[in-house]
C-alpha cells in the first residue's frame, strides 16, 4: 500500500499537468479567436459577439440534421419526409412494409390521392406487367415490361461504386439505366443492364473538338448492344432553362476524359442546344439520330406551357407520323438530384402532377398518344406515385432519388459537394469505401421488385389484373378538406386544362 502511494501521486500530478495544459491551450485558442473576430469586418455577429457568435454558424449547419432526426414529424420534411424515405429503405432491404394501428397520412388534405377499391377486386396472384414497344418505326425498336427505371444521373454527379451498384441492380430488376448528360462510362455498362444514353446540351461523350455532335462517336456508342434508346435533354427538373452544373472538385481526370473537358474545372453545360432552337430543328435532330443509330430517340423536358405540344404535334403531322419522337420524358419542376440555383429549383417549371395529364390529353387530342410513349419522372418514389402516373396515362416512371435512397442516401443535402457521407455523390475514396456495390445492387433490385409488387396490390384492389390497366377513374384526389373528385373528372375540368398558362394567352 505504501509502495503504491507515490505512484498514485505521480499519476495525479501528471493528470493535473495535462488538465492545466489543456485549459491554458483552450484559453489561448479563445483569446486568439477573440482577437480575430473583433478585428475582422466581414461578419457582424462575430464582430459584435466575439467567439460566441461562431456558435450561430455551427447551430445553423447542424439544424438540418437535428430537425431530420429529432424535431420534424414523419410527414413534415422536404424534399422527402421520413415516412417516404422509410418505405424505400424497407423495400430496398426487403423487410416487412406493413404498418399497425392506422395511417399517419392526413387523407383530408388537398392533393391527397385516394384509390378506389372495387367491390370485386382482382383474384389474380400474379404480378402481371405487360410489355410496351418504343420506336415501332426504328430499325431496332425497344420492347420492355419495366414499370420503374433509373432516371438520369451522370458519372460525376454520382460515384463509381454507386453507378456500378445501379448498373448491376438494374440488370437484376430488368429495368433500364439512364446515363445522364455526362456521357457513357464503363461503370454504366458494368452490370449488363439496358442503357438509355442521354444527349445533353454539351454533347458530353459524343462531342468533337469544337463541342459539336460527333456522328462517329455517336455511331460507336449506338453499336453497343446495351444501348437501347437515346434521349435528348431539353431541360431538367432541378433547373429548367439552365445547363448542367458539376463543381470542379468533382471533375476528376477520368470524368474529364469521358466528358472531353479539362480536369478540376467546373463542368457547366449550355442552357440549351445551339443547334435546336425550334420544334422543326428538334424533329430534325431526332430523325438524324434515329437514322444514324437505328434506335428509338426521344427528348426530356420540364413543361412550362402546354402550347409547345400543339406546335410539336402539328409539325409531326405535317411531316408524317414516322417523324414523331419515339418517347417524351416529362420531368417535374420541383427539383432533382443536380446542383441548381435556388431561384430555379424553387420557382421554375410546372410539377409532374399537373403536366402529365395535360400532355396525355393533348397527345390523345392530336391522335399521337399511341405513337409517342410517355415517361414520367420527378419525386415519384412510392407505389402510390407510380400507380398515379400509370393511371394518369404514363407508360413508364423514372426515378433518381428513389434509387439514391435504395443505395443508402440519408438526405444529407450535400449532393453538390464532394462530402456525401454515404459515398453516393462523392469522389473521395475514403467516403466511397463504405458503399459496397455488391450489397447495394441487391437493394436496388429489391426496391424495384417491391415497388412492382405494391403497385400491383393497388391495381388488384381497384379490380384490374395489371398495373398498366389502371385508369383515371380508379383514383380520386382531395380538392378541399373532406371532398375528393375522380381524376377523370378533375383532369377534364376546363380550369385544370387551362392551368398551364392558357389564361394569359391572347
The whole-number pLDDT of residue 506 equals 38
pLDDT tens-digit series, residues 445-494: 999 999 999 999 999 999 999 999 999 999 999 988 888 999 999 888 77
The whole-number pLDDT of residue 415 equals 72
User: Lowest mean pLDDT: which of 9-13, 77-81, 323-327?
Assistant: 77-81
User: Is 241's pLDDT higher than 60?
Assistant: yes
pLDDT tens-digit series, residues 89-102: 888 888 877 767 66
d(CA 246, CA 265): 9
Position with higher pLDDT, 223 vs 4 = 223
Stretch 70-88: mean pLDDT? 67
User: Is 333's pLDDT higher than 60?
Assistant: yes
Backbone angles phi, psi at 115, to 5 degrees: -85, 150
d(CA 18, CA 393): 71
Position with higher pLDDT, 134 vs 351 = 134
Closest CA to 241 of 400, 347, 360: 347
Cell of 475: 383514383
Are 400 and 444 in contact, with CB atoms under 8 Å apart? no
Position with higher pLDDT, 300 vs 337 = 300
Rounded percentage of the chain residues whose pLDDT exceeds 90: 45
The whole-number pLDDT of residue 62 equals 63
**Residue tagged 419525386 (cell numbers):** 379
Q: Residues of 220-255 as b/e, b for ≥16 C-beta within 10 angstroms?
A: ebbeeebbbbbbbbbbbbbbbebbbbbeeebbeebb
The whole-number pLDDT of residue 238 equals 66
Per-position DSSP letters for 69-110, written without gaps between them:
IIIS-TTT-SSS-HHHHHHHHHHHHT-----SSS--S-TTST
The whole-number pLDDT of residue 503 equals 40
d(CA 472, CA 389): 10
Sequence-distant contacts of 252-258: CB under 8 A, at least 24 apart? 252/156, 252/427, 254/185, 255/155, 255/156, 255/182, 255/427, 258/155, 258/156, 258/182, 258/183, 258/184, 258/185, 258/204, 258/205
Instruction: State the number of CA atoms in the 13 A half-sphere of 320 facing the CB.
Output: 5
* pLDDT classification of 505: cutoffs 50, 70, 90: very low
Stretch 28-36: mean pLDDT? 88
* pLDDT classification of 11: cutoffs 50, 70, 90: confident
> Looking at residue 424, what DSSP letter applies?
S
The whole-number pLDDT of residue 70 equals 56
* Number of residues assigned to the chain: 506
**Residue tagged 463542368 (cell numbers):** 267
Strands 396-399 and 297-302: unpaired
Strands 132-134 and 142-144: antiparallel
User: Is 60's pLDDT higher than 70?
Assistant: no
Q: What is the pTM of this model?
A: 0.84
**Residue tagged 428513389 (cell numbers):** 402
d(CA 475, CA 383): 13
Backbone angles phi, psi at 135, to 5 degrees: 80, 55
d(CA 390, CA 372): 15
Cell of 371: 405513337
Q: What's 4-68 look like in SS3?
A: HHHHHHHHHHHHHHHHHHHHHHHHHHHHHHHHHHHHCCCCHHHHHCCCCCHHHHHHHHHHHHHHH
User: Is 186's pLDDT higher than 70?
Assistant: yes
Cα torsion through 370, 374, 380, 385, rounded to 10:
-10
The whole-number pLDDT of residue 501 equals 47
d(CA 304, CA 146): 28
pLDDT tens-digit series, residues 278-311: 999 999 999 999 999 999 999 999 998 888 999 9
User: Is 261's pLDDT higher than 50?
Assistant: yes
d(CA 28, CA 444): 52
The whole-number pLDDT of residue 349 equals 77
CA angle, residues 44, 48, 52, in degrees to nearest 5: 100
d(CA 252, CA 8): 56
Stretch 192-203: mean pLDDT? 93
User: Lowest mean pLDDT: which of 31-45, 67-81, 191-205?
Assistant: 67-81
Amino acid at each position: 500500500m505504501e509502495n503504491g502511494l507515490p505512484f498514485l501521486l505521480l499519476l495525479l500530478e501528471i493528470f493535473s499537468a495535462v488538465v492545466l495544459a489543456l485549459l491554458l491551450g483552450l484559453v489561448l485558442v479563445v483569446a486568439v479567436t477573440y482577437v480575430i473576430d473583433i478585428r475582422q469586418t466581414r461578419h457582424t455577429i462575430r464582430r459584435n459577439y466575439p467567439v460566441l457568435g461562431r456558435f450561430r454558424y455551427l447551430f445553423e449547419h447542424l439544424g438540418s440534421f437535428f430537425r431530420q432526426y429529432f424535431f420534424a414529424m414523419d410527414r413534415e420534411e422536404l424534399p422527402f419526409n421520413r415516412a417516404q424515405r422509410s418505405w424505400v429503405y424497407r423495400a430496398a432491404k426487403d423487410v416487412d412494409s406493413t404498418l399497425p394501428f392506422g395511417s399517419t397520412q392526413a387523407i383530408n388534405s388537398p392533393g391527397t390521392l385516394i384509390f378506389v377499391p372495387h367491390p370485386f377486386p382482382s383474384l389474380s396472384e400474379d404480378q402481371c406487367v405487360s410489355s410496351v414497344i418504343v420506336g415501332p418505326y426504328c430499325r431496332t425498336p425497344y420492347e420492355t415490361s419495366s414499370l420503374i427505371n433509373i432516371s438520369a444521373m451522370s458519372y460525376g454527379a454520382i460515384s463509381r461504386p454507386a453507378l456500378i451498384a445501379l448498373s448491376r441492380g438494374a440488370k437484376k430488376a430488368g429495368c433500364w439505366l439512364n446515363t445522364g448528360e455526362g456521357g457513357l462510362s464503363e461503370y454504366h455498362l458494368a452490370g449488363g443492364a439496358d442503357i438509355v444514353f442521354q444527349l445533353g446540351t454539351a454533347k458530353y461523350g459524343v462531342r468533337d473538338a469544337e463541342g459539336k455532335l460527333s456522328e462517329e462517336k455517336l455511331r460507336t456508342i449506338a453499336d453497343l448492344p446495351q444501348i437501347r434508346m437515346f434521349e435528348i435533354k431539353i431541360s431538367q427538373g432541378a433547373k429548367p432553362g439552365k445547363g448542367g452544373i458539376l463543381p470542379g472538385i468533382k471533375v476528376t481526370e477520368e470524368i474529364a476524359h469521358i466528358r472531353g473537358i479539362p480536369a478540376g474545372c467546373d463542368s457547366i453545360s449550355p442552357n440549351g442546344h445551339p443547334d435546336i432552337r425550334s420544334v422543326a430543328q428538334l424533329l430534325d435532330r431526332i430523325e438524324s439520330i434515329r437514322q444514324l443509330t437505328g434506335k428509338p430517340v426521344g427528348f426530356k423536358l420540364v413543361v412550362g406551357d402546354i402550347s409547345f405540344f400543339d406546335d410539336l404535334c402539328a409539325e409531326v403531322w405535317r411531316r408524317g407520323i414516322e417523324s414523331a419522337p419515339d418517347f417524351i420524358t416529362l420531368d417535374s419542376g420541383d427539383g432533382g438530384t443536380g446542383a441548381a440555383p435556388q431561384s430555379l429549383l424553387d420557382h421554375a417549371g410546372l410539377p409532374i402532377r399537373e403536366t402529365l395529364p395535360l400532355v396525355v390529353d393533348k397527345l390523345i387530342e392530336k391522335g399521337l398518344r399511341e405513337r409517342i410513349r410517355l415517361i414520367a419522372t420527378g419525386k415519384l418514389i412510392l407505389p402510390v406515385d407510380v400507380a398515379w402516373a400509370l393511371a394518369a396515362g404514363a407508360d413508364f416512371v423514372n426515378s433518381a432519388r428513389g434509387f439514391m435512397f435504395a443505395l443508402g442516401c440519408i438526405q444529407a443535402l450535400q449532393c453538390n459537394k464532394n462530402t456525401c457521407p454515404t459515398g453516393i455523390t462523392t469522389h473521395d475514396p475514403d467516403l466511397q469505401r463504405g458503399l459496397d456495390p455488391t450489397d447495394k445492387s441487391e437493394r436496388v433490385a429489391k426496391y424495384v421488385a417491391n415497388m412492382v409488387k405494391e403497385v400491383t396490390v393497388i391495381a388488384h384492389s381497384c379490380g384490374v389484373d395489371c398495373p398498366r390497366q389502371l385508369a383515371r377513374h380508379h383514383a380520386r384526389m382531395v380538392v378541399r378538406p373532406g371532398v375528393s373528385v375522380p381524376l377523370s373528372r378533375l383532369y377534364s375540368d376546363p380550369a385544370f386544362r387551362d392551368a398551364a398558362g392558357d389564361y394569359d394567352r391572347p
